[in-house]
Structure 1
Amino acid sequence: MSVKKRYPVLAVAVAMTSLNASGAGFQVSEHSASGLGRAFAGEAAIADNAAVLARNPAAMTLFKTAELSGGLSIVDPTVDVDDNDFGQSAKDVAPMGFIPSAYYIHPINNRIAVGLAMFSNYGVATEYPDKFNAGSTAGETSLMTVNLNPNIAYRINDHFSIGGGISLVYGDAELKRHYGLLGLVGKNSSDNTIKMEGDTYDWSWNIAALYEVNDDHRFGLSYRSQVDLDFEGDFTDYTGKITGTPNTVVTGKLPVVLPAIAEFSGYHALNNQWAVHYSVQWTQYSKFEELRATSDQCNPGYEGEAGVCLMKDEDYDDNFRWALGATYSLNPEWILRAGFAFDEQAGKSTLSIPDTDRYWYSAGATYTYSPNMSFDFGFTYLRGKEITFEEDETSFTSTSDAFITAAQINYKF
């Protein structure tokens, strides 16, 4: 049995975060309450609080004083899956998720600023009933990640700024399967067949640019690199078909790709009250090709392939997310915002990740309590397109929607 690596600060952050992907594939978009209120339209260009670090560190040059932002997003999804061939349904397979975030920006002078961000870009959780027929492909799946991301920005001139940083990305994953319809004599459909759990960390990098036409018009461009997480942890073979001995625990390895992300945003103030903003985000999901767990002790191996504990091909393509929003300054205390986004389906739907097109309908507000302190609130209704897919020669239909709420506090020093 392996001894897991544990990193206390990051482990605490992950423990706070029961993630459920609200973006396409297994992407987590909830980086701020202000962003949620506009469907994350214009995030790489607006820079109305320190949460801009998650999207564009070059925008730190817009800050004149140090600022701290911290928030919590709550994702309450409803994902139902119907087994069309056997007339069985699984309700609410995606649990509620809690997603914290924190950001700090500190200007050094009128050209250089530094910042630190903690947030998540990827995560997913699905939990099917123990007696769901397709236990061998459904069961429980979870992936939780957190980024600790220091950044620096430099203003080249009055119009152009650049920025970048590195990220320590921590991940924790668990996968559990059971017999389901394939239960054998003397076994229950809810009895486990395999289980794998482990954690790991890796480094990534990000770069960004901000172009200011003037105070009322600016554009942002950012890129966040791919992360290759090599999980190492406990693989349990309850049946003995993979390792040769029932109830055997071995050390398994499972590489997982967190795809690269690029975003272009624009912000335009039309007058003293109204502004419009937009974003196009690209995610390189084509790099996510398979889930393949390996160990020398998995012999005869998964489906007779020695050294392989688990194998699942994934069918993903690069996808785009389009967002448009508006902001209205009601008075010195209140700012109102709204937005709409379309998030393209990234991968072929499966029971563990029932992906589909998503439509975001968002609204939010900022309340300025004092010159130094403000509060952001955001709400989104997310509607997923109904989709029918096949897995292991069985037909399923998935329906989904979600309510996302968020609150955030911002403080200027």
Structure 2
Amino acid sequence: IVFGNPAGMSFLDRAQVTAGGTYLNVNTDIKNAEYTPTLPGTGGSTSEGDMVPGTLIPFAFYAHPVNDQLAFGFGVYAPFGSKTEYEDSFAGRTFGTRTEVTVMSAQPTVSYRFNEQWAVGAGVSYNRVDGKLYRNAPAAPGVELDSRVEGDDEAWGYNLGVIYQPIPETTLGLTYRSKVSYTLEGDFRATAPDGSIASRPVDTPMGTVQVPLQDKASLDLTTPETVNFSITQQMSDNLKLMAGASWARWSRFDKILVEGENLGEITNEPQNYSNAWAFAVGGEYQLNPQLALRAGVTIDNTPTNDIDRSVRIPSDDRRIFSIGAGWSPTDDLTLDLAYSYLTERGTRIEQGGPTDPRGQFGADYKNEAHGFGAQLTYRF
């Protein structure tokens, strides 16, 4: 509730704390990989596909009703993240070997219930982002540099929520989460095969000098604002149905542009994301006072496009199928377990060209993921 729609906190009758996590196991099938180097002897030859390591995503939330109208809450969670890491001999390593973006948020929240029908909520989020961009940069025939950019930043955002219950059995929710703008600042370095800092020749009035490929670097990144609508319908004492729609303004993510303090443009990779919709339906059946069963389906449309899709984020439209259960051995304690299967539409990636110093890479990708979630809730 703290994350999804803070207005809902004022409908809770007791304080409660929830902690848990989701473990993601991602599998990628890469076929028909082809790499044509611009500089002979550069680029790799394999496409094993184990590009996303298993990842645990933790979270914790607390909600505290003060009275029948007012409630406070706090949450720590990861709203955005992306991670790809290829083997050293990956065929497309000149376009990317490792891409990692992690956002962690801490959010104090308040909600107020006006009457039996209406409630509002608001939260302020402190967000910290860490990013890594690695690739092998061709420098000469048979020579590749290990190019790495790392940076971090912190910024503030907010979210707003409204809940309307026209009748006790029907709940409508609307949530807005703001964009968050970051300027990741850190370091860039390119090392030669012997581990030394590489350099490049630069013409100056005093002649040609070798400039080390090491610099302070920065990257502007904006995570999108989102709007979420949900409806929950209590069909009977035991059955509850839910549906939702979410819109994200991903069009703010137009490129990955890394600029050096002295070296100028280091990386410029077009992304040209478009705004995207996701739709979900689900249900919960209270089998007995202790056990609730759940299931759901989500259609998550990709913001990427066929022209600019890259080895860094090789994703396409997703379908997610989920099942779960909640077990309450006492009125104060609930253990929730969930399993989700995510499958993406197969997609083709084409990058570079005959005149691109990185070479030319193409491959067919098919991604799927298994998510295992668990959380423990205690009510005071």
Give me the TM-score of the superposition, normalised by structure 1: 0.81
- Whole-Å Cα distance in 1 between the matches of residues 28 and 200 of structure 2? 32
Structure 2 gaps of 5+ residues are 36-44, 192-197, 203-208, 354-360
Give 1 or 2: higher helix fraction: 1
- Whether 2:164 is the aligned partner of 1:208: answer no
- Contact 1:93–1:127, Cα closer than 8 Å, also in 2: yes
- Whole-Å Cα distance in 2 between the matches of residues 101 and 169 of structure 1? 14
Give the residue type in structure 2 aligned to 1:316: Y
Aligned to 1:326: 283
- Whole-Å Cα distance in 2 between the matches of residues 314 and 292 of structure 1? 10
- Whether 2:199 is the aligned partner of 1:240: answer yes
The correspondence for 1:151, drawn from 97, 104, 109, is 109
- The 3 A distance-change label for structure 1 pair 123 and 387 is same
- The 3 A distance-change label for structure 1 pair 209 and 397 is same
- Whether 2:32 is the aligned partner of 1:73: answer no
- Whether 2:179 is the aligned partner of 1:226: answer yes
- Whole-Å Cα distance in 2 between the matches of residues 212 and 70 of structure 1? 28
- Whole-Å Cα distance in 1 between the matches of residues 28 and 79 of structure 2? 21
The correspondence for 2:219, drawn from 241, 250, 254, is 254
- Contact 1:345–1:356, Cα closer than 8 Å, also in 2: yes
Please give the per-residue CA displacement for 1:8-37, whole angstroms capped at 9, x wherever unaligned: xxxxxxxxxxxxxxxxxxxxxxxxxxxxxx
- Whole-Å Cα distance in 2 between the matches of residues 273 and 241 of structure 1? 70
- CA apart distance, 1:247: 5.2
- The 3 A distance-change label for structure 1 pair 83 and 252 is farther
- Contact 1:140–1:175, Cα closer than 8 Å, also in 2: yes
- Contact 1:346–1:355, Cα closer than 8 Å, also in 2: no
The correspondence for 2:235, drawn from 259, 267, 270, is 270
After superposition, residues 77-156 of structure 1 pair within 5 angstroms as 77-86=26-35, 88-156=46-114
Give the residue type in structure 2 aligned to 1:203: W
- Whether 2:281 is the aligned partner of 1:314: answer no
- Whether 2:330 is the aligned partner of 1:370: answer yes
Corresponding residue SS for 1:95: coil
- Whole-Å Cα distance in 1 between the matches of residues 342 and 332 of structure 2? 33
- Contact 1:242–1:309, Cα closer than 8 Å, also in 2: no
- Whether 2:257 is the aligned partner of 1:292: answer yes
- Contact 2:30–2:364, Cα closer than 8 Å, also in 1: yes
- The 3 A distance-change label for structure 1 pair 245 and 232 is farther
- Whole-Å Cα distance in 1 between the matches of residues 102 and 51 of structure 2? 17
- Whole-Å Cα distance in 2 between the matches of residues 251 and 376 of structure 1? 45
Give 1 or 2: higher strand fraction: 2
Aligned to 1:217: 170
Corresponding residue SS for 1:157: coil
Please give the per-residue CA displacement for 1:220-252, whole angstroms capped at 9, x wherever unaligned: 100100011110101113343498746542111
- Whole-Å Cα distance in 2 between the matches of residues 322 and 139 of structure 1? 32
- Whole-Å Cα distance in 1 between the matches of residues 142 and 90 of structure 2? 18
Q: How many residues matched?
A: 349
Corresponding residue SS for 1:369: strand
- Contact 2:96–2:133, Cα closer than 8 Å, also in 1: no
Give the residue type in structure 1 aligned to 2:310: T
- CA apart distance, 1:79: 1.8
- Contact 2:297–2:322, Cα closer than 8 Å, also in 1: yes
- CA apart distance, 1:382: 0.8
- CA apart distance, 1:84: 3.6
Aligned to 2:126: 168
Corresponding residue SS for 2:346: strand
- Whole-Å Cα distance in 1 between the matches of residues 271 and 199 of structure 2? 26
Report sequence identity in percent. 26
Aligned to 1:351: 311
Whose Rg is larger?
Answer: 2
- CA apart distance, 1:95: 1.2
- Whole-Å Cα distance in 2 between the matches of residues 83 and 293 of structure 1? 31
- Whether 2:293 is the aligned partner of 1:360: answer no
- Whether 2:7 is the aligned partner of 1:58: answer yes
Give me the TM-score of the superposition, normalised by structure 2: 0.88
- CA apart distance, 1:310: 1.5
Aligned to 1:340: 297
Greater relative contact order (Cα 8 A, min sep 6): structure 1 or 2? 1
Structure 1 gaps of 5+ residues are 1-51, 299-306
- Whole-Å Cα distance in 2 between the matches of residues 247 and 178 of structure 1? 17
Corresponding residue SS for 1:345: coil
Stretch deviating more after TM superposition (144-153 or 211-220): 211-220
